[in-house]
Amino acid sequence: MFNIQVMKRLGLLLLFFTLASCQAQKEDYASISMAEFISIYKQMGDLQILDVRTPEEYKEGFIKGAMLNNVFEPNFVDVAKRNLNKEKPIYVYCRSGRRSVKATKMLQEQGFSKVINVEGGYNAWIKQKE
């Protein structure tokens, strides 16, 4: 009986600390909304914009000035290193915002310090343009 009670309490304690550590984690990358990006895009003009979708998705439409670099290609990081300036902000988007988070983190791990995820991706771009 005693062992079961101790085990239950230890299990609950472990669960509590696990949940608390999950809550403490925060995003470790910069993100902006599509509306914020469009405002910057209109004001600045010459931006480093990285489209991390597939070539098929890119053919269906893209943000003018964006460089295509599929995040799932094995040479994704090498292509980025050859074509992007690490010192300038890089705005990353995909279709809906998931792959761009992955790409943003990958680039940060490679020393790109000014990488910004554009939330909502190309889907949000289309909606904002309507």
List active site positions: 94
pLDDT at 97: 87
- In the numeric block, the tokens 């074509």 are attached to 83
Dist CA 90 CA 67 (whole Å):
11
pLDDT at 22: 40
pLDDT at 45: 76
| pTM exceeds 0.85 | no
Beta pairing partners, 50: 67, 92
The CATH code of domain 27-129 reads 3.40.250.10
Packing angle of the helix pair 121-129, 34-44 (nearest 10 deg)? 70
pLDDT at 1: 54
pLDDT at 130: 76
Q: What count of residues does the chain have?
A: 130
Q: What are the average pLDDT values for consecutive 10-residue runs of the chain, which has 130 residues? A: 56 42 57 96 93 98 97 98 96 96 96 96 92
Give, in order, the Cα–Cα distances in Å from 8 to each of 11, 62, 130: 5, 54, 56
Dist CA 103 CA 69 (whole Å):
10
pLDDT at 29: 87
CA-nearest of 70, 65, 72 to 90 is 65
Q: Give domain limits for the chain.
A: 27-129
pLDDT at 51: 99
Q: Concatenate the DSSP letters of all residues of 45-93 into one string.
A: ---EEEE-S-HHHHHT---TTEEE--TTSTTHHHHHHHHS-TTS-EEEE
